Structure 1
Amino acid sequence: MRKRYLYTLLFISWVMFITTLSLFSLSDLDLDTGTLNIPFADKITHFVFYTVFAFLGCMFVRERTQGHWTLRKTTKYILLAAIGYGILIEALQYTLTVDRMAEFGDVLANSLGAFVGIGLVRWLFSKGRPLKWKF
């Protein structure tokens, strides 16, 4: 029974995780991050977060519809949801927070990550692979 809701729980948890990290300041936690300086680490993080968002979103829809939504329909809606969610989070950062900045580069990294996540799902469920979209 628990396996039936695995991707639902993972997707909802991931969305809450992204929302929390995006809208709340972590500077008060006094984390000692050292002096490691990775160029474009912020954009890489956005890219990875939205790759996972798109992948888990597709698996969530597959799980909830038991594969009745086609792969094409699912990926189209999840791609639009991921891009829309990324834009919404950036808008909320701009309007609701004082220590977070909304950036067009973040929206671009989010969108590119979503495209990669969708591409991964399409590749995993392509005709040459043993995985089947429908249950």
Structure 2
Amino acid sequence: MLSLFSFSQMDLDEGNWNIPYADKIVHFLFYLMFAILCTMMFRERTQGEMGIAKATRSAVVLAISYGILIEVLQYTLTTDRMAEWADALANSLGAFAGIGLIRWLFSKEKPLKWKF
């Protein structure tokens, strides 16, 4: 829901940082974490019955769908928020990076174990 509200009217101290494309970096990082946490949630909720491949596929589909839905809702329901295809792209790339990271962490090369 917070993705649909505008915080531009709030008096936030932005400091002296001037990072190009900072919003895209934030989108990428949020969806990277979304995909990781979603994969772990699928595994936890199924008590490990859902394999890592299916859990990561489900997580990336959910993350990308949610990111696109939020952009569409920003375009259709708000007057002070802008929908950007670059945000949806950053969301998608973050989700893919998240599942890539979790597959690497739980791969045979670097085996972490799922613990319940």
Q: What is the TM-score normalised by the length of structure 2?
A: 0.93
**Partner in structure 2 of residue 97 of structure 1:** 78
1:83 equivalent in alignment to 2:64: yes
Retained in 2: the 8 A contact 1:68–1:134?
Answer: no
Q: Partner amino acid for 2:86? A: G
**How far off its partner does 1:35 sit?**
4.0
* Count of residue pairs brought into register by the alignment: 116
Unpaired runs of 5+ in structure 1? Answer: 1-18
- The yes-or-no answer on 1:107 pairing with 2:100 is no
Instruction: Write the deviation string for residues 81-126 of structure 1: whole angstroms up to 9, x where unpaired.
Output: 0100000000010011111100110111000000000001101110
Match of 2:23 in 1: 42
Q: Which AA in structure 1 matches 2:100?
A: G
* Residues 17-51 of structure 1, C-alpha deviations (whole Å, 9 max, x = no match): xx41x211112321121342210111111100100
What is the distance in 2 between the residues matched to 1:128 and 1:34?
42
Q: Which amino acid aligns with 2:57?
A: K
Separation (CA, whole Å) in 1 of partners of 2:97 and 2:62: 14
Q: Which region of structure 1 is more displaced relative to structure 2, 68-77 or 28-37? A: 28-37
In the aligned structure 2, how far is the partner of 1:131 from the partner of 1:66?
16
* 2:14 corresponding residue in structure 1: 33
Percent identity reads 66
8 A Cα contact 1:50 1:82, kept in partner: yes
User: What is the match of residue 48 of structure 2?
Assistant: 67
Higher helix share: 1
The one-letter amino acid of 1:129's match is K
Structure 2: gaps spanning 5 or more residues: none
For 1:61 and 1:23, how far apart are their aligned partners in 2? Answer: 26
Q: CA RMSD in A?
A: 1.4
Moved over 3 A (4+): none
Relative to structure 2, which stretch is displaced further, 119-128 or 30-39? 30-39
